[in-house]
Amino acid sequence: MNIKGYEIKEITEIKIHPLSKEEIEEGKKNRAKEQEKWFKVEPIYMFVKREDFIKFIKNYPRKLDCDVCGISDPPLITYNDSELANRWPYSIVAKTWAYSDTPGDYFYIPPQERNYYILVNYEEVFNSKTGYKE
């Protein structure tokens, strides 16, 4: 990997420090403030079965754009409502991962262990938009 003329040859140590309760609470407040720029109602995502996920995508009332984010393993697949927000991740109304259906493949996860999430209060969130554009 090259970083502005440097090459990483070896990583010798990684230290992980737990956050204090105060740091965790401050992070939550900052996320809430960021969210408030976009919506007055907090989006609520719910874990659903694959069948319900597909049904949600098919019946969603506005046009959805599909996006694949390759920095996760397996890649994250999101369905986005650009009328809800003009910026990812605030436009996400449904998400899953690029699973493989072939046992033994790198991205294979048994169907019963796969994760599918939908935005359950999408109309309430849509109706609470602040009009913020970035």
Q: List pLDDT tens digits, range 116-128.
A: 999 999 999 999 9
Q: 45 has which bridge partners?
A: 119
pLDDT for 72 equals 84
pLDDT for 95 equals 97
Q: What's this model's pTM, rounded to 2 decimal places?
A: 0.72
Give tens-digit pLDDT for 6-63.
777 777 777 777 778 887 777 666 666 666 788 888 899 999 999 999 999 999 999 9
Nearest to 93 by CA among 48, 33, 51, 130: 48
pLDDT for 29 equals 67
- Separation of alpha carbons 64 and 26, rounded Å: 33
Start-to-end CA distance of the chain, whole Å, equals: 31
What sign does the dihedral 100-104-109-110 (CA atoms) show?
Answer: positive
What separation in angstroms does the CA of 118 have from each of 3, 97, 122?
A: 37, 13, 9
Give tens-digit pLDDT for 92-105.
999 999 999 999 99
